[in-house]
Amino acid sequence: MTAPGSELWRLDAARTRSISAENPTGAPGAGARAVEGTGAAAARLLGPGWKISPSIELAMDETATLAEVSGPGVFRHLWLTTARTVLRQLILRIYWDNAPEPAIELPLGDFFCNGWDELALVSSEMVVVAPAGGLNSFWPMPFRESARITLHNGSDRSVPLYYQATYSEEDVPDSAGYLNAQWRHSNPLGDPAVHPILDTVPGPGRYVGTYLAIQPGAPGWWGEGELKFYLDGDTTHPTLCGTGTEDYFGGAWNFDLDGGYRTYSTPYLGLHQVLPPNEIYQPDQQFGMYRWHVRDPICFHRDLRVTLQALGWRDDKTYLPLTNARIASTALWYQSPRTTRASKQ
């Protein structure tokens, strides 16, 4: 994966295509041709070509195919918006090259750093969540033979869905990996207080991102635990080991400034959600944070496994395993097409 913006100077044979409810196939000249759709009543005085099909209605327990295209190509931007209260009940799946199992399978909200019931805005390089629920992904997603993106509605009601998936038709180099995502959920975490962010996956690959949603389940400071990256044959001890949860996400000293948490959202890391925002060190508070390893990818050749210790802090200045914590994590990595396998939940 190249750094954001590094390809903008290229004037080659790539062609831009975009799939939406107004152009379901993305074919040249096929946009705005609908004669019926969710906007038909509003456009009845204007005629053809005037926003007749801007969205779809996704029924309860229905799976919609948002995009199905032939390769080679690279998805450059994925934008969606829907009912903000059901982001955890909508399941996003992405398949590469006719694979029977998805390389990406997780709740829609978690893919966009929104694992809690209240919308959190994000201003980062790879994911942007804008008012009032615009979900944007700029992760480049190459494919060779084909790509398919689906969304399943696991909620108890029908929801509106607006979407646009933009990709370029272009050659994909042999060295390009496929984007994968693994979502893991611990509720409660239990003993030992170690949350698996990424089960062992084969290389070669590059680990590029972590989203973490945590509810500590105990009062006091909750982020003493280290993130550990076991790569290329590591077993008991990791090659890469951080110094604490807040440190990994770019913060320091308990995220505590003047007796309160301070949220931040930067291009590559952030603590973008604290619920409720005016409390501190409460057991039922909910936190969301992300780190994108775009400028500092974690490269592995043989295999990779990632874990998070969930540790709080006792008054006697000893660590407290957070066995009652609720934790959900999303791991993002690029993997060789020769070894890509389905992600687990």
In this structure, are strands 256-257 and 260-261 parallel, antiparallel, or unpaired? antiparallel
Which tokens belong to 194? Answer: 């170690």
Half-sphere exposure of 173 (CA within 13 A, CB side): 4
| pLDDT < 50 regions, the chain | 1, 341-345
What is the maximal distance between C-alpha atoms in the chain? Answer: 73
Nearest to 267 by CA among 245, 243, 242, 295: 295
Q: Are 241 and 228 in contact (CB under 8 A)?
A: yes
Lookup result for tokens 């001890």: 237
CA 208 to centroid of chain Cα atoms: 11
| Cα-based angle 20, 94, 125 (whole degrees, multiple of 5) | 75
Give the number of residues written for the chain: 345
pLDDT tens track for 259-303: 999 999 999 999 999 999 999 999 999 999 999 999 999 999 999
CATH superfamily placement of domain 179-335:
Protein of unknown function DUF2961 (2.60.120.1390)
Q: Is the peptide bond before 192 cis (omega within 30 degrees of 0)?
A: yes
d(CA 261, CA 286): 12
Nearest to 305 by CA among 215, 230, 232: 230
- Kindly report, as residue ranges, where domains of CATH 2.60.120.1390 are found in the chain: 15-176, 179-335
Q: Are 181 and 74 in contact (CB under 8 A)?
A: no
Number of H helices, E strands in the chain: 2, 27
Per-residue pLDDT, 344: 41
d(CA 255, CA 204): 35
Q: State residue 146 phi and psi, 5-degree precision.
A: -165, 165
- CB proximity list for 191: less than 8 A, separation 6 or greater: 321, 323
Q: Is the peptide bond before 131 cis (omega within 30 degrees of 0)?
A: no
In this structure, are strands 134-137 and 127-130 parallel, antiparallel, or unpaired? antiparallel
Domain 15-176 is found in CATH 2.60.120.1390: yes
Q: State residue 206 phi and psi, 5-degree precision.
A: -135, 120
pLDDT tens track for 43-71: 898 888 999 888 999 999 999 999 999 99
Per-residue pLDDT, 337: 81
Lookup result for tokens 């409660």: 188
